[in-house]
Amino acid sequence: MTRQQNTESTADSTALLTALEGRDCRHCVAGTLVRTQYKGNLAVCCPACETPQAQLW
Ligand SMILES: [Zn+2]
């Protein structure tokens, strides 16, 4: 069986950020990732070390 995948929509990109939101930061032990804006782009950042984990251009 072959499944069709819809991986190229902006909705999926937003879902990626949503999926990362609330995860533990990979760069420090204190941070939990939150959805924010980084340099005008939608992004997921750690508020503790301020490292962006993912962002949409
Ligand atoms: Zn961090």
pLDDT in tens, 3-40: 665 555 678 888 989 999 999 999 999 999 999 988 89
Q: How far is the CA of 15 from the centre of ligand 1 (A)?
A: 21
Tokens 């950042």 identify what position?
A: 45
Q: Where exactly are the structural domains of the chain?
A: 11-55
Q: How far is the CA of 18 from the centre of ligand 1 (A)?
A: 17
Q: Which residues surround ligand 1, an ion (CB under 5 A)?
A: 25, 27-28, 31, 46, 48-49
Which pLDDT score is estimated for 57?
77
Q: List, in sequence order, the alpha helices (H) in 1-57.
A: 10-20
Write down the pTM of the prediction: 0.71
* C-alpha distances in Å from residue 51, one per residue of 30, 32, 56: 12, 11, 15
